[in-house]
Chains A and B, each alone.
Chain A
Amino acid sequence: GGTIRFGHDNKTDPFENPAHACTAVFQNIVTADTNGSVTVEVFGSNQLGTAAEHVQQVRDGVIQATLTSTGALASYYPRIDVLNLPFAFANNASTYSVFDGEFGETLAADIEDALGDVVVLGFPDTGGFFAVTNSQRQIANLEDFDGIRIRTMTLPSHQKIVQALGAEAYPLSWGEVYSGLQTGVIDGQMNPVPIISFANFAEVQKHMTLTNHLFSPYTFMVNKAFYEGLTEAEQNTLHAAAESCVTASRGLSRIIEASDRGLAGLMDKIEVTALSADQRAAMAGATQPAFEAHVAENLDAKAGELLTLFKSEVGKANDASYLD
């Protein structure tokens, strides 16, 4: 038994964002199914620190669980970068099967090996695929990216992808993105649709392209010593609750996309462009070799193996069709 202090860096409304939906579901199931022998206290809104600090706090046993973004995990576990293979997934369902399947298990095991002090319980949804917005022109074809200045996170792989598309990549701190877009310091940015909606970027951007070029899930991790101190029954409850937590994050992400807080709401404010299979293929063709070169240059052989597995699992998932 014990208390799980669960930190994350999102707003604490289960109907507003996938991270808190996930923690709320986890909290409910764990507390109920263990008859309160394991309790969960959620600390949202960066109360205990940034996403990267949360990882350290879980590793040190200061808190017991967190949901961390791939960006925040990268400094501890650089191989997480393989998830940034651009234009990989054909649809949301593919992300589910890849992260719940063999690749998810392999990745979880590798994170646990590399860090040594955590147990990975799953990969919840952060809000869906990345889209690109900009103020210059409608982007439908690869050539349309030419010379557009796009804000990226300080992640080398994201920069490489943007540059391979023919655009320019400038890292800008998150707090300056809105005003940077508004005044024209930069032309565009890329983020999942709910973040674009939540940050009101539609007010300061004219065009949005549903590139779906990146998907970055959270990594749900708990402190290993804490986990090993639980009874087997409690551990099983944690896994079951984590699965529901992941499901909830996915469900809420899709609902937000469909609501006026997502794509439906953005349609009136910004010109939305979806890509044809050919247009996507051209972009994939331009970016994937650059990304693979980046992985080969900057990461180790193990990352190469992970990337190979990732590609084959994504391929299988893309080819499979639902209930078929």
Chain B
Amino acid sequence: MLGDIADRISRQLNRGTEVILAALMVALVLDVWIGVVDRYFFHWQLPWPEVLARYLMIWAAMLAVSSGIARREHIGLTAVLLNLPAPLRRAMLIGIDLMTFTLFFYVLWFGIGFAESGAKRQAMILGATLQPFYAAIPTAAALACVQVVLVMVRDMGRQLDLPDTPSEEGAGA
């Protein structure tokens, strides 16, 4: 019951995150294209494509972490777990989720101070400070914290109990 609610919230939150991810990816591709086209055709000598690309990439990669958590795509070693009796395995998987929460809570906690420190630093583009870019870290950590709690409630350590179905998506690069 609680698991279903958690599942629904997790999905909706992730759907929103993924819309932003797609938008960031499009922006990234366009940004680098503009840099190339500028050099060959327009000669505007834009100062921002390289810098902006790095910051967009960080926003995209960090936000995607929560999406990977929602879909349990961050892979660990399962050899030991799979050889444990189910109750013990579930306890350990819940333990891992709690430790993951701790890690991202740490990142969130100190990330807020980090983002604030960015307000006093110049980004050297568009007259902005580094704050909007540094904010990627606490924002993504907060999302990750929420998602890890939601999927923990959803799965309660049972995610490895399901019969082995071949995953439909490539396992990374």
Q: Which residues of A contact B (CB under 8 A)?
A: 56, 74-76, 78, 149, 154-156, 159, 163, 168-173, 185-186
B124 at the A/B interface (Cβ < 8 Å)?
yes
CA of A163 to CA of B43, assembled, Å = 11
Chain A contacts for B125, CB-based, 8 A: 154
| Residues in A neighbouring B124, C-beta threshold 8 A | 74-75, 154-156
- Complex Cα distance, B39 from A173, in Å, reads 15
User: Is B121's CB within 8 Å of the partner chain A?
Assistant: yes
Partner-binding segment picked from B13-21, B44-52, B75-83, B161-169? B44-52
Contact, CB under 8 Å: B39 / A75: no
Q: By the criterion CB–CB under 8 Å, are A75 and B122 in contact?
A: yes
A60 — nearest CB in chain B belongs to which residue?
Answer: B117
Given A74-B122, A76-B120, CB of A154 within 8 Å of CB of B39: no
Does B61 make an interface contact (CB < 8 A)?
Answer: no
Contacts of A78 in B (CB 8 A): 122
Please determine whether B47 and A171 come into contact, CB atoms closer than 8 angstroms.
Answer: yes
Q: Would A173 and B122 be within 8 Å (CB), given that A56-B117, A159-B45 are in contact?
A: no
Residues of B within 8 A of A154 (CB): 47, 50-51, 124-125
Which of B50, B51, B120, B124 has the most A CB atoms < 10 Å from its CB?
B124
A75-B123, A78-B122 are known contacts; what are 15 more A-B pairs with Cβ within 8 Å? A56-B117, A74-B122, A74-B124, A75-B122, A75-B124, A75-B130, A149-B39, A154-B124, A156-B47, A156-B124, A159-B45, A170-B38, A170-B39, A171-B50, A171-B51
| Complex Cα–Cα for A76 and B130 (A) | 10
Nearest-Cβ distance from residue B117 to partner chain A, whole angstroms: 7
Task: State the CA gap A115–B123 with chains docked (Å).
Answer: 17
A76, A155, A169: the one within 8 Å of B45 (CB): A169
A-contact 0/1 string along B77-116, CB 8 Å cutoff: 0000000000000000000000000000000000000000
Across-interface contacts of B121 in A (CB, < 8 A): 75-76
Q: Which residues of B contact A163 (CB under 8 A)?
A: 45
**The residue from A56, A159, A186 contacting B47, defined by CB atoms under 8 A apart:** A159
Instruction: Check if B122 sits within 8 Å of A172, measured CB to CB.
Output: no
Query: How many residues of chain B get a CB closer than 8 Å to chain A's CBs?
Result: 15
Nearest CB of chain B from residue A2's CB, rounded to whole Å: 25
Between-chain CB contacts (< 8 Å), 23 pairs: A56-B117, A74-B124, A75-B121, A75-B122, A75-B123, A75-B130, A76-B120, A76-B121, A78-B122, A149-B39, A154-B47, A154-B51, A154-B125, A155-B124, A156-B124, A159-B47, A163-B45, A169-B45, A171-B50, A171-B51, A173-B50, A185-B39, A186-B39
In the A-B complex, the 4 residue pairs with the smallest Cβ-Cβ separation, listed nearest first, are A75-B121, A75-B122, A171-B50, A169-B45
Q: Which residues of B contact A74 (CB under 8 A)?
A: 122, 124
Complex: A149 Cα to B40 Cα, angstroms: 10
Closest Cβ neighbor of A52 among chain B residues: B121
List of A residues within 8 angstroms of B38 by Cβ: 170
Bound-state Cα–Cα, A13 to B4, Å:
61
Report the Cα distance A156→B46, complex, angstroms. Answer: 10
- Most chain B beta carbons < 10 A, residue from A78, A155, A163, A171: A171
A168 contacts B43, C-beta separation under 8 Å? yes
How long is the Cα–Cα vector from A168 to B43 in the complex, in angstroms?
A: 8
Bound CA span A156–B48, Å: 10
A269 to B125, CA, bound (A): 37
Report B170 CB to chain A, min CB distance, Å. 27
A169 to B48, CA, bound (A): 12
CB neighbours of B39 from chain A (8 A): 149, 170, 185-186
A155 CA / B117 CA spacing, docked (Å): 21
B43 contact set on A, CB distance < 8 A: 168
Query: From B120, which residue of chain A is reached at the shortest CB distance?
Result: A76
How far does the Cβ of A121 sit from chain B's closest Cβ, in whole Å?
22
